[in-house]
């Protein structure tokens, strides 16, 4: 490992040097040099009491600047000269890296209120340097103490999440009202879009949803069999799996899949439209973006979510059945056991949740999309936030349902 690391580093260094030779030395300034390309020389002399004179000769380019830079800075730090004089009479050309060295010395001396002058530099080069001189760097703004920053940050985050929660609830409320109005006047919904989205979010997700269901059923059966075996009650693995799938895991897993597949896609689609000013175009054309963009997605998600959940649960039961079969139970006994363990109430109790989950996924995905900012990473941020807040919202809603069902006795 170490040796290969060294070798890689050597290659990198060589590549860098190669780039220097080709990239910089053949750069513009080097072209003007008559002879001695890339062979600048530097000497130090003392003058007057504590003055430092640098005698530069040749073509000062990036490679030389790189060589001289640490050396010169060290020398200046050691001598702490009252004045620096650069004798540049022998400089044939210099590129911006060479100029940077001289300008850096100048800025340093000016900051210490010491003298600096360049002598003998050709007029055209002097003029060029004047053009490039950026002046002293702006002083860094004093940062507030860390405690103030920490408190500020905590406040910012808390305020941000409170406001975020508020907009989320407000948006979901608004979109729900629109949904009711569509129920009254179904023609107002863009059905073609809705079907297309339903196909993308629903039909195309059947494979992954079924696979996840199958594997979860299989895993659940194996894991619970360990405990049940102690009591010789392996047949009850079926009870456990079917109840868990119908009441909790089926809806939850499907919701997670839909969030990560489609919630993020909604946010990215709407976010890109926002960045491309398509959303603004809708507003100026008098088309309500929520009605036009969010509602079809909401309806599609609400429609496909229960269907996907059913698929998920069916394949979960198949996975569990496979395990039960391998334990030696006949298929008929397994089906019998399921029928006895789970009621239709369990199934529908779970499915009711999926409508809410679907609405949350689409609502939050669209909200995050419409909230997208303008920076290049904004769309990615929106997709991330759509998934994160989608998952949080789903779990919170699931908790509310758990309490509700407990008291209702479902």
Partner 1 sequence: MTMGSDAPPIIQVSDVTVGYDHHIVLKDVTFEVGAGEVFCILGGSGCGKSTLLKHMIGLHRPLTGRILIDGTDIVTAEGEERRALLGRIGVAYQNGALFGSMSLIENICLVLEEFTSLPRQAMQTIARMKMKVVGLQDAGDRLPSELSGGMRKRAAIARALALDPKILFLDEPSAGLDPITAAQLDDLIVELSQTLKITFVIVTHELASIFAVADHVIMLDKERQTIVARGSPEELRDRSDDPWVRQFFHRESSAAGIRR
Segment contacting partner 1 by CB under 8 A, of 33-41, 265-273, 369-377, 381-389: 369-377
CB 267 within 8 A of CB 201: no
Nearer Cβ to partner 1, position 268 or 323?
A: 268
CA separation for the pair 267, 358 (Å, rounded)? 15
Considering only 79, 83, 100, 208, the residue that binds partner 1 (CB under 8 A) is 100
Q: With binding defined as CB under 8 A, does residue 375 bind partner 1?
A: yes
Expressed in percent and rounded to 5, the helix, strand and coil fractions of the chain are 75, 10, 15
Q: Which of 37, 96, 371, 382 binds partner 1 (CB under 8 A)?
A: 96
Q: Where are the beta strands (DSSP E) in 115-197?
A: 115-119
Please give the Cα distance from 208 to 69 (Å, whole number): 59
CB 341 within 8 A of CB 245: no
210, 308 contact by CB (below 8 A): no
CB nearer partner 1, residue 21 or residue 340 = 21
Report if residue 9 touches partner 1, rule: CB under 8 A. Answer: no
CB of 102 to partner 1, least distance (A): 10
* Chosen residue from 1, 3, 5, 131 binding partner 1 by CB under 8 A: 131
How far apart CA 270 and CA 371 sit, in angstroms, is 9
Per CB under 8 A, which of residues 222..281 are in contact with partner 1?
Answer: none
Selected from 97, 241, 338, 387, the binder of partner 1 by CB under 8 A is 97
From the list 18-26, 183-191, 210-218, 382-390, the region that binds partner 1 by CB under 8 A is: 18-26
Q: CA 246 to CA 352: how far, in whole Å?
A: 11
What is the Cα–Cα distance from 400 to 271, expressed in whole angstroms? Answer: 30
Residue count, binding to partner 1 (CB under 8 A): 42
Should residue 28 be labelled a site residue for partner 1 when binding is judged by CB under 8 A?
Answer: yes
191 near partner 1 (CB under 8 A): no
Q: Indicate whether 110 belongs to the interface with partner 1 (CB under 8 A).
A: no
Under 8 Å between Cβ of 125 and 90: no
C-beta of 65 vs 391, nearer to partner 1:
65
* CA torsion angle 312 356 352 257 (round to 10): 10
Residue 27 contacts partner 1 per CB under 8 A:
yes
Residue closer to partner 1 by CB (options 22, 117) is 22
Give residues with Cβ within 8 angstroms of 284, minimum separation 6.
none
135 binds partner 1 (CB under 8 A): yes
Q: Does 29 bind partner 1 (CB under 8 A)?
A: yes
Q: Find the binder of partner 1 among 33, 101, 338, 367 (CB under 8 A).
A: 101
Q: By CB under 8 A, tell whether 112 contacts partner 1.
A: no
Find the Cα–Cα–Cα–Cα dihedral 307, 309, 312, 316, rounded to 10°.
-130
- Interface residue with partner 1 among 5, 139, 328, 376 (CB under 8 A) is 376
Judge whether 340 and 236 are in contact, CB under 8 Å.
no
**Interface with partner 1 (CB under 8 A):** 15-16, 18-24, 26-29, 31, 62, 65-66, 69-70, 73, 95-97, 99-101, 103-104, 107, 127-128, 131-135, 137-138, 374-377
């Amino acid at each position: 490992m170490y040796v290969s690391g060294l070798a890689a580093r050597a290659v990198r260094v060589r590549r860098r040097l190669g780039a220097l030779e080709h990239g910089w030395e053949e750069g513009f300034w080097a072209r003007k040099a008559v002879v001695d390309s890339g062979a600048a020389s530097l000497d130090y002399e003392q003058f007057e009491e504590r003055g430092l004179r640098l005698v530069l000769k040749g073509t000062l380019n990036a490679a030389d600047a790189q060589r001289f830079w640490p050396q010169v800075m060290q020398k200046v730090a050691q001598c702490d000269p009252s004045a620096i004089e650069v004798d540049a009479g022998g400089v044939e050309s210099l590129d911006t890296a060479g100029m940077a060295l001289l300008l850096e010395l100048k800025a340093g001396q000016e900051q210490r209120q010491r003298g600096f002058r360049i002598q003998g530099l050709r007029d055209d080069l002097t003029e060029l340097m004047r053009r490039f001189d950026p002046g002293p760097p702006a002083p860094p703004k004093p940062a507030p103490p860390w405690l103030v920053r920490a408190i500020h940050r905590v406040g910012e985050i808390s305020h941000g999440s409170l406001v975020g929660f508020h907009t989320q609830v407000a948006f979901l409320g608004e979109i729900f009202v629109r949904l009711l109005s569509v129920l009254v006047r179904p023609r107002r919904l863009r059905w073609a879009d809705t079907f297309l989205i339903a196909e993308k979010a629903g039909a195309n997700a059947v494979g992954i949803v079924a696979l996840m269901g199958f594997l979860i059923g299989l895993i659940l059966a194996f894991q619970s069999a360990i405990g049940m075996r102690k009591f010789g009650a392996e047949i009850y693995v079926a009870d456990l799996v079917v109840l868990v799938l119908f009441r909790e895991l089926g809806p939850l897993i499907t919701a997670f899949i839909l969030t990560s597949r489609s919630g993020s896609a909604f946010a990215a689609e709407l976010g890109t439209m926002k960045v491309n000013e398509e959303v603004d175009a809708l507003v100026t054309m008098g088309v309500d973006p929520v009605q036009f963009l969010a509602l079809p997605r909401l309806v599609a998600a609400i429609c496909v979510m229960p269907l996907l959940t059913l698929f998920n649960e069916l394949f979960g039961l198949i996975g569990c059945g496979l395990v039960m079969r391998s334990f030696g139970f006949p298929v008929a006994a397994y089906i019998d056991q399921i029928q006895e363990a789970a009621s239709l109430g369990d199934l529908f109790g779970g499915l009711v949740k999926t409508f809410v989950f679907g609405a949350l996924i689409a609502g939050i995905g669209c909200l995050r999309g419409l909230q997208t900012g303008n920076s290049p990473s904004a769309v990615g941020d929106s997709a991330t936030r759509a998934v994160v807040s989608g998952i949080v919202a789903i779990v919170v809603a699931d908790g509310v349902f758990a309490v509700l069902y407990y008291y209702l006795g479902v």
